[in-house]
Amino acid sequence: MAAQKPVTLLDRLRAADLPDGQRAELVRLFTAKDYAGVEDILARATAAPLAPAVAAECHALEGAVAFLEGRMDRAVTSLRQADALTPLDDQDRFTLAMGLVRLGDTRPAREQLMRLTVAHPDVPLYLYWLARIDYDQRLYEQAVEKLRRVILLDPESSRAYDNLGLALDMLGQTDEARQAFEKGVDLNRKLTEPSGWPPQDLGALLLRMQQFKEAELALREALRYNSALPMAHYHLGRTLEAEGRDNEAINEYRAATAGAAPVVEAFYSLGLLYRRHDRGREAEAVFAEYRKWKAQSAQ
């Protein structure tokens, strides 16, 4: 098992086995959030002859900074280069796994997470992400089994209960899904920074169950935590429309379609609602947006 580095990324840059001037520049650039500059220095360092352990750490630092910057291809490449020289520690291997997850490379991501799980069977984080991969691959029964193990290891995990609810829902176990969602919502409320997703997921289920008042409460709770959550706006719009509150529903559909990553179905729902209220020109404009986004998603 690789030795652990119980330090922050900044600490690792400060401790890098490089000339003093390079280390100082790395720290300065990182503190200024000039991640491209940090990567450039590390890339130039690894182009020179280095001891394998030093080169491995530089590649690993490149990967960690690229991940922070959102450059997943570069992060994965650099971390794999480091791993080829010296086995990654758990922190870097998990970063590699998350980079692969972000890229949609589920098979190698699963392999990395399995290595971590075998080495640390009592760490719920790795098992949780394996369950997430199961869910994305529609292996819902396997996801449920893993998430139940996560909950045994971490009974306060709101996201484990939330994802358990999603998997149970996909298996058609509606009552059990609702119980899991409700537990996730309750635990989520206790967090310093609650997520909008547990109450949004509960609200979506309650909407499908036609329990509109309860759905509205859950969805408004989601929006208190994250006022820009498009899916919560969309489901709240559907809930309000089902209750005959069309003007409020229109506002929610507009909110669901306003951002850079809109809920595409909200365009269609909004268009139908405009058409019902004889707002034909607005309806056609919204339907055009719907067709545009659908075409983009099909590419």
Contact at 8 Å (CB) between 67 and 75?
yes
- Read off φ and ψ for residue 97, nearest 5 degrees: -60, -45
Domain closes at, from 139, 159, 192? 192
Cα→Cα distances 106→52, 83, 222, Å: 29, 19, 29
Match 């759905």 to its residue by tokens. Answer: 215
For the chain, what is the domain count? Answer: 3
In a domain, 106, yes or no: no
> CA 261, 132, 74, 297 torsion: positive or negative?
negative
Question: pLDDT band for position 3 (50/70/90)?
Answer: very low
Averaged confidence pLDDT in the chain: 94
In a domain, 234, yes or no: yes
CA–CA distance, 210 with 81 (Å, rounded to integer): 53
- pLDDT of 6 > 70? The answer is no
pLDDT tens readout for residues 97-146: 999 999 999 999 999 999 999 999 999 999 999 999 999 999 999 999 99
pLDDT tens readout for residues 43-72: 888 888 888 899 999 999 999 999 999 999
Q: Which domain holds residue 259?
A: 195-299
Residue 189's identity, in one-letter code, is: R
Residue 49 belongs to domain with CATH number:
1.25.40
In a domain, 240, yes or no: yes
